[in-house]
RNA sequence: GGUGAGGUGGCUGAGUGGUCGAAAGCAGAGCUUUGCUAAAGCUCCGUAGGCCUUAAAACCUACCGAGGGUUCGAAUCCCUCCCUCACCGCCA
């Protein structure tokens, strides 16, 4: 959520920055400002009336104590209540409207965001590793089927399309990856491990920005007003919602494994083949809560923590920065890490590392007490560290041998218990 | 799911209709006393919004789990819901 004061004071600057995301957002700004000024006028009037009423009530109490007549004052007070009620109704309506509008305005991009309308304009910042030379690379579906790692048909029987069931060594490889990632980030990178709920309420989903705008992307459950998390970012960032943290406790660095649940309505085809885009997938997520001064540096280190995963696994990757038109709703700056997938014949996004500035913190009233003794909004960041399914795809496709077996990176071997996957 | 007891400021804990945003204690900040330490004394110490404004203070309003209701007036009375604790039931 943006700061309403910022909108009041520098509306043109806000509109200019929002225009970097695309057209049409300046109307929302004007609507918020209209609701805001109407609300404030009503509230001011109401507060004056309320102050007068409180004065009257005290006077009534004093007169009654002295057994004097107070009926005139009581009538006066009752009469005021009529106007106050309509004022309150109007300002309540304006406040709801203002908040709804404000919640539907995306974050301001940071000041040096690359220009561009879509992913084609995202600049590549750096590339690491060398793609393997392969004669006729197979894709992960062919490899996985041959190796008996997963079973899409039976998974569809259980749950429908867009679900996978890992089997035997495939399930073991998933678990090996997950343990490797959690150990790396906790032991080497200093993150605190969390294991949060997978079902969260509406307030939590609103805190990180999924609601109210993106309810259609989420799975809900039929009992209670709960949603399946689309990423561990949601429960972990909201862990400190409505709190005032001590400055010396920052930065907080959390890592969490959770499954992620997404509707992904309407997406099918080459870009979603096999494990690439599913309704349920596993992910290890990194979350940071920091001060505004440190958030830029924390984004760089967060990204490098995620890159380290690919370096240790020996997987070629590149890092791109998202341009204004491709930036996610709540983010002000994002680096995507894309791994090379030779069977797929392209780059796959395995991590998205974002800074949210104070946008999420304002939504969830997440603050810290500064050296000045005052409360300030924190900055929040998160990034995948990394998505498991696409990492899995990259491991199979980059590690494949001419005989269809797959060589596993050395760091993974202790976790998996073998150096290669071979056909049964 | 059932029954019972509770939810008050960072913490403990008073407060059953009127000057209560809330006693007291603890923790925290500042000052004084003190050879040092320890201790004592004094002062300050919730959040959000509005108004005004360069900014702050002052001032006004709201907030005693949440939302409604009664009343001139609600932390206090009534209703609904949520949460915590205990026991029972159920269960990994």
Q: Alpha-carbon distance A163 to A380, whole Å?
A: 31
- pLDDT on residue A244: 86
Q: Alpha-carbon distance A386 to A123, whole Å?
A: 21
Closest CA to A37 of A84, A80, A81, A5: A5
User: What's the whole-number average pLDDT of chain A?
Assistant: 92
Phi, psi angles (nearest 5°) of residue A353: -105, 120
CA of A240 to C1' of B77 (A): 36
Q: Per residue in A80-97, pLDDT tens?
A: 888 888 888 888 888 888
Residue nearest to nucleotide B28 (CA to C1'): A373
Q: Alpha-carbon distance A407 to A41, whole Å?
A: 69
CA of A42 to C1' of B53 (A): 21
Tell whether the torsion through CA atoms of A40, A41, A42 and A43 is positive or negative.
positive
- pLDDT on residue A221: 83
Closest CA to A139 of A277, A342, A343, A340: A343
- Report the percent of chain A where pLDDT is more than 70: 99
**CB A377, CB A321: distance < 8 Å:** no
Q: Alpha-carbon distance A183 to A29, whole Å?
A: 45
- Residue A372 pLDDT exceeds 90: no
- pLDDT on residue A145: 93
Nucleotide nearest to A41 (CA to C1'): B50
- pLDDT on residue A410: 97
Tell whether the torsion through CA atoms of A47, A53, A56 and A60 is positive or negative.
negative
CA of A84 to C1' of B12 (A): 40
Active site residue ranges of A: 262, 277, 349, 352, 390
Q: What is the pTM of this model?
A: 0.92
Question: How many H-runs (helices) and E-runs (strands) does chain A carry?
Answer: 13, 15
Residues with CB under 7 A from strand B: A 4, 40, 43-44, 47-48, 50-51, 53-54, 56-58, 60-62, 64, 74, 77-78, 81, 244, 367, 375
- pLDDT on residue A192: 95
CA of A65 to C1' of B20 (A): 18
CA of A132 to C1' of B44 (A): 69
Nucleotide nearest to A52 (CA to C1'): B60
Given pLDDT bands bounded at 50, 70 and 90, which one contains residue A362? very high
- CA distances (Å), origin A25, targets A121, A221, A330, A411: 21, 32, 14, 48
Nucleotide nearest to A60 (CA to C1'): B72
């Amino acid at each position: 959520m943006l700061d309403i004061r910022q909108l009041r004071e520098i509306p043109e600057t806000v509109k200019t920055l929002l225009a970097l995301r695309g057209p049409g957002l300046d109307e929302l700004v004007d609507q918020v400002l209209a609701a805001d000024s109407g609300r404030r006028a009503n509230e001011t009037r109401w507060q004056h009336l309320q102050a007068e009423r409180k004065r009257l009530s005290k006077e009534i109490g004093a007169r009654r104590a002295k057994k004097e007549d107070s009926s005139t004052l009581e009538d006066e007070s009752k009469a005021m209540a009529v106007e106050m009620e309509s004022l309150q109704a109007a300002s309540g309506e304006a406040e709801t409207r203002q908040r709804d509008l404000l919640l539907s305005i995306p974050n301001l991009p940071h000041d040096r965001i690359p220009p561009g309308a879509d992913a084609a304009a995202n600049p590549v910042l750096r590339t690491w590793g060398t793609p393997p030379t392969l004669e006729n690379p197979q894709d992960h579906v062919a490899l996985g089927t041959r190796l008996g790692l997963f079973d899409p048909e039976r998974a569809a029987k259980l749950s429908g399309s867009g679900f996978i069931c890992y089997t035997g060594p495939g399930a073991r490889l998933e678990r090996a990856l997950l343990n490797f990632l959690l150990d790396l980030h906790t032991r080497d990178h200093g993150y605190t491990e969390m294991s949060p709920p997978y079902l969260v309420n509406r307030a939590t989903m609103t805190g990180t920005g999924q609601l109210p705008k993106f309810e259609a992307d989420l799975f809900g459950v039929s009992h209670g007003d709960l949603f399946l998390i689309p990423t561990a970012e949601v429960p972990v960032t909201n862990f400190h919602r409505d709190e005032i943290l001590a400055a010396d406790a920052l930065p907080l660095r959390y890592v969490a494994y959770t499954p992620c649940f997404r509707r992904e309505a309407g997406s099918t085809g080459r870009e979603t083949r096999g494990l690439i885009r599913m309704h349920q997938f596993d992910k290890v997520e990194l979350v940071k809560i920091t001060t505004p001064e440190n958030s830029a540096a924390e984004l760089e280190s967060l990204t490098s923590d995620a890159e380290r995963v690919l370096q240790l696994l020996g997987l070629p990757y590149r890092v791109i920065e998202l341009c204004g038109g491709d930036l996610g709703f709540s983010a002000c700056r994002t680096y995507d890490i894309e791994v090379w997938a030779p069977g797929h014949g392209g780059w796959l996004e395995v991590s998205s590392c974002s800074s949210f500035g104070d946008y999420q913190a304002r939504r969830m009233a997440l603050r810290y007490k500064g050296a000045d003794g005052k409360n300030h909004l924190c900055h929040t960041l998160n990034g995948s560290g990394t998505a498991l399914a696409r990492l899995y795809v990259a491991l199979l496709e980059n590690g494949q041998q001419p005989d269809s077996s797959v060589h596993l990176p050395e760091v993974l071997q202790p976790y998996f218990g073998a150096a290669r996957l071979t056909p049964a």
